[in-house]
Amino acid sequence: MGVFLFYLGIYAWKFKSMTMQTPKLSLRNVSKSFQSKGHEINVLDKLSFDVYDQDFVSIIGPSGCGKTTIFNIIAGLLKPDEGEIYMDGEVATGLRGKVGYMLQKDLLLPWRTVLQNVVLGLELRGTPLKECKDVAMEYIYTYGLAGFEHAYPKALSGGMKQRVALIRTLIYDPQVILLDEPFSALDYQTRLYLEGVLVEAVETFNKTVILVTHDIDEAVALSKRVVVLGARPASVKSVHEINIGQRTPIEARSDPNFSGYFHALCAELEIQTKVGS
């Protein structure tokens, strides 16, 4: 009997640890303030949220609420005043070199060709070009940039430049991909196309993604979960699970649940739908 209870205990413990997945990345009570003209501005106030493995989390919030500050803290470019960041359950002292990073600006080095830009991250790790050239060419080919490998970024269109930036991020094989409004400078068609490319790439390579955006539409269409932030100083207002079965962002937009999520998030952000009140 005792033995049976013992095994049951072990089984229960195992079962619990299986369901209680450790988050890939978690922020715990992260606060940050900046000095401006002599007085302090609180940007983040005890911010906490989790990102699971192969999660796609969007962070939305009113403009100027400190989304980019969160982004820079996760990227390891800013140190939080208080609070911790955990990666795989352990306190992460610096996430530099573990995260991929993509902004609205393509951030391609203008003096490097497409191929040289794509391998930048690997080069920083010390991989010689000879070793990663074939893989890089494969990516360039897959993402429709064949023939442009020796072109300079100046000769490419906006969408092509962002594709190069995406390849650079993917080939670097980071644990977490950080995206800060990566498509907001592109026209709508290119944007829909690149959203599709992104979602497909993320699924193929089993990536974990955090997307910072002001675009509710994009957040609902792409993510599995949406974190809504309040006005400055930002803290998490709510987290929404998005259950849309469709695979592509375009199909997701015609999903019957789409507009429900969209309006819920609009309401959450207190967006005025009527002029004057």
Contacting residues toward another protein, per CB under 8 A: 72, 75-77, 96-101, 103, 105, 107, 109-112, 120-121, 123-125, 151-152, 154-155, 172, 178
The nearer residue to another protein, 71 or 183, going by C-beta atoms, is 71
CB of 240 to another protein, least distance (A): 28
The nearer residue to another protein, 128 or 260, going by C-beta atoms, is 128
CB of 234 to another protein, least distance (A): 21
Q: Which of 98, 62, 92, 96 is nearest to 77 (CA)?
A: 96
CB of 154 to another protein, least distance (A): 5
CA gap 149, 177 in Å, rounded: 24
Q: Which of 53, 97, 55, 54 is nearest to 74 (CA)?
A: 97
The nearer residue to another protein, 137 or 151, going by C-beta atoms, is 151
CB of 140 to another protein, least distance (A): 18
158: left (phi over 0), alpha (psi -120 to 50) or beta: alpha
Q: In this structure, what DSSP letter does residue 154 have?
A: G
CA gap 104, 109 in Å, rounded: 15
The nearer residue to another protein, 162 or 235, going by C-beta atoms, is 162
The nearer residue to another protein, 110 or 245, going by C-beta atoms, is 110
| Alpha helices (H) in 153-240, listed in sequence order | 158-171, 188-204, 216-222
- Strand spans (E) along the chain: 25-36, 39-51, 56-60, 82-87, 90-91, 99-102, 176-180, 208-212, 225-229, 236-241
CB of 103 to another protein, least distance (A): 7
